Structure 1
Amino acid sequence: MDLKQLKYFIVCAETGSISEAARLLYTTQPSVSKAIKALENDMGIVLFDRMPRGIVLTAQGREAYRYACRIVNDSRKLEEMSHQNMVKYLRISLNPSSWFTNQFVEFYKKNYEKNYHFEVYTAGVRTVMERVRDYLSDIGFVYVMEQQKKEFQYELTKNRLVFQVMQESTATFYPGKQNPLYQDLEEMDHSKENAFTVTMEQMKSMRFIQNYRDEFLELNEKEKRGTFSWENLDLAVITNSDYIMEKMLQETELSNISGSYLSDHKKAMNQGIPLDFKKNKIFFGYIRRKNDETDELMDEFLEFLAEKLKGKTVNERTEE
């Protein structure tokens, strides 16, 4: 086997299609098929099940995929080391977040002369975990609801990952400008604590725009009592675009529930309503592979983010 075969294998696994992999690799479908067949022969296993509408990794194929990602990643690092002026490179996966975007841009501008290189990929919590696990990203930044933490921790342990909390805030309801509650929120006295609340029953009559479904929220009936749940809520739009999120909140009746998804300019327009439920905290932090060492660039970036978060109140963090 060779690196070319492994790269072809990785792209096939991620696209679920030999023809799509060929397009992305700027080669022909027969060339990709030949490379995959040769790799299967070399390894003595079947990597893909051929389906009517594409290909799906077998159980052995999923395990091989993780090793292939690591090998290709390590080979790239060896290539970088061969250059005298070795480039510092950091691959980041994260949940969509305007706050994080603003910090990343500031960090890059601040360190422009150092010629740092980055790869930034936005996705849901589960995908971020998988990308870090599979060596496609060096670090992943996610938002996790308090009531998800048990299942989240199980997934971390299973995949030999660890999670470091950097920020804790309260889950907050943000009504769109055309939502009747928006006007009530504008007129309320913000100097009074708990001056305004929104109930689960009220939210059941509304439609929502969310970055991703609440992937780990699979609670039993006992756990559901008194906690927030997406069950029976109308998720009208699911997007990984912060721009779409903020545009829809500005111009429609759609609402959003999040911790720190909104950018600074949005804060003045929509203060939001903290949700008064059990386990209503949202934790922001980063995922890393267990026992992996950090490098200089990652340490510098984490220190920068920690400094930005230092001294913020829970409400300040939530409103961003």
Structure 2
Amino acid sequence: MDIKQLEFFVVACERGSLSQAAECLYTSQPNVSKTIRTLEHELGRPLLMRSGKGVQPTAYGKRVLEYAQLIIRTTITISSLALPDSRNSLCISAYPSNMIAHLLADFYREWGESCYIEHREGTVEEITDDVQQGISEVGIVYVAEKQAATFQHILSHKNLSFVVQDTKKICLYVGPRHPLYHAESVDFSDLSSLKFMRGVRDFFSMEHHLGHVSMGVIDTAALHNVVYTNSDHLNIALLLETDVCSLGLDFLHEPYAQYDIKALPINGCEPFLQVGYVQDAEHTLSTQAQWFVSYFQKLL
């Protein structure tokens, strides 16, 4: 049994026809039929019921189909993890971030085609898993100070370390269509009347820890969230074109401020989010990764 046999069987079931499966797989109908019959012979039972109207899986074939689809999806996922030579690449995981995207563009201008780039976005859990599994060399994260000890404890079991670069406040991001666009700052009491986008749902995400800011004066239950997304593209589009706003880290880098979006300070908000990167505790960062984290620190 091999992946090709399973793929032919799955496509035949999905198309309901051996001829249509052959067209989809860029091969001949006899080849599809022969491959599936070989699989049936190996398993010792028929997988398809064949008729003039096409094919459909037998009861046994339906069970095999579920596992075959799972195997193919898993194979595709594994293939997507294939990387160029790690000695000549920069592999980064981070929250969805326009600033990180611009920094990677700077990296490309500096290193050109001499170095491959792989960039992945996700939650803190996904980012740290990427680093632990060797998919990414560096993971950019931010964590509430009051959760730092818990976070470090979790990382110790994964043999990872968190290198803090700075501690930041949060701010309110608004676009030109927002009624507060011309304001200089906002109060905590203003937030309950606004419409928000909320970011990735993650135990270590900024939103999860807003109750720790200024002795809990932000009531997350009172915030009116109208959009949930982990898309930076959607975040920017809504800020520019609607009256929806978002909470974010107060570290907008001026040279990257290409959009008409303002970061309004929140009066009385103290720094509480540690910003830094996760790395394998036993390995020294590559030259490429060292370049990236040094420039990231300059942005902060």
TM-score, length-scaled by structure 2: 0.62
Once the two structures are superposed, what CA deviation does each residue of 1:232-290 show, in whole Å capped at 9, x if it has no partner?
A: 32332222322221111111111111115756564773432223456543332110122
Distance 1:202 1:215, change over 3 A: same
* Number of residue pairs the alignment of both structures matches: 235
**Which residue of 2 is the match for residue 43 of structure 1?**
none
8 A Cα contact 1:172 1:257, kept in partner: yes
For 1:247 and 1:261, the matched residues in 2 are separated by 20
How big is the shift at 1:228? 4.1
Distance 1:266 1:117, change over 3 A: closer
Question: Is 1:210 aligned to 2:198, yes or no?
Answer: yes
**Which residue of 2 is the match for residue 253 of structure 1?**
243
Once the two structures are superposed, what CA deviation does each residue of 1:120-170 show, in whole Å capped at 9, x if it has no partner?
A: 101122211121122222210112233443432332233222111223321
Aligned equivalent of 1:197, options 186, 190, 194: 186
For 2:273 and 2:246, the matched residues in 1 are separated by 14
**Which residue of 2 is the match for residue 233 of structure 1?**
223
Distance 1:297 1:246, change over 3 A: same
For 1:222 and 1:95, the matched residues in 2 are separated by 21
For 2:242 and 2:284, the matched residues in 1 are separated by 46
1:110 is aligned with what amino acid?
E
For 1:241 and 1:154, the matched residues in 2 are separated by 29
Question: Is 1:158 aligned to 2:149, yes or no?
Answer: no
For 2:130 and 2:105, the matched residues in 1 are separated by 22
Distance 1:227 1:88, change over 3 A: farther
For 2:174 and 2:67, the matched residues in 1 are separated by 41
Distance 1:237 1:151, change over 3 A: farther
Alignment identity in percent?
23
Distance 1:135 1:305, change over 3 A: same
Computing the radius of gyration from Cα coordinates, the structure with the larger value is 2
Question: 1:231 is paired with a residue of what secondary structure?
Answer: helix
Distance 1:276 1:147, change over 3 A: farther
Question: 1:142 is paired with a residue of what secondary structure?
Answer: strand
How big is the shift at 1:107? 1.4
**Which residue of 1 is the match for residue 289 of structure 2?**
298
8 A Cα contact 1:96 1:241, kept in partner: yes
8 A Cα contact 1:226 1:278, kept in partner: no
Distance 1:260 1:158, change over 3 A: farther
Gaps of 5+ in 1: 6-18, 35-49, 56-64, 81-85, 189-195, 310-316
For 1:207 and 1:299, the matched residues in 2 are separated by 39
8 A Cα contact 1:98 1:261, kept in partner: no
How big is the shift at 1:203? 1.6
For 2:293 and 2:138, the matched residues in 1 are separated by 10
1:305 is aligned with what amino acid?
F
Gaps of 5+ in 2: 4-9, 15-24, 26-34, 43-62, 69-73
Distance 1:305 1:227, change over 3 A: same
For 2:212 and 2:295, the matched residues in 1 are separated by 41
Give me the CA root mean square deviation: 4.2
Distance 1:181 1:303, change over 3 A: closer
**Which residue of 2 is the match for residue 137 of structure 1?**
136
2:226 is aligned with what amino acid?
A
1:117 is aligned with what amino acid?
Y
Distance 1:235 1:129, change over 3 A: farther
**Which residue of 1 is the match for residue 120 of structure 2?**
121
8 A Cα contact 1:97 1:262, kept in partner: no
For 1:170 and 1:162, the matched residues in 2 are separated by 23
Distance 1:278 1:106, change over 3 A: closer
Once the two structures are superposed, what CA deviation does each residue of 1:179-224 show, in whole Å capped at 9, x if it has no partner?
A: 32224x1xx4xxxxxxx3322x4322322113323523767x9999
Once the two structures are superposed, what CA deviation does each residue of 1:279-305 show, in whole Å capped at 9, x if it has no partner?
A: 543332110122223223222333343
Distance 1:154 1:112, change over 3 A: same
8 A Cα contact 1:97 1:261, kept in partner: no
For 1:222 and 1:244, the matched residues in 2 are separated by 27
How big is the shift at 1:111? 1.2
Once the two structures are superposed, what CA deviation does each residue of 1:16-50 show, in whole Å capped at 9, x if it has no partner?
A: xxx79xx9xx9x9999xx9xxxxxxxxxxxxxxx9
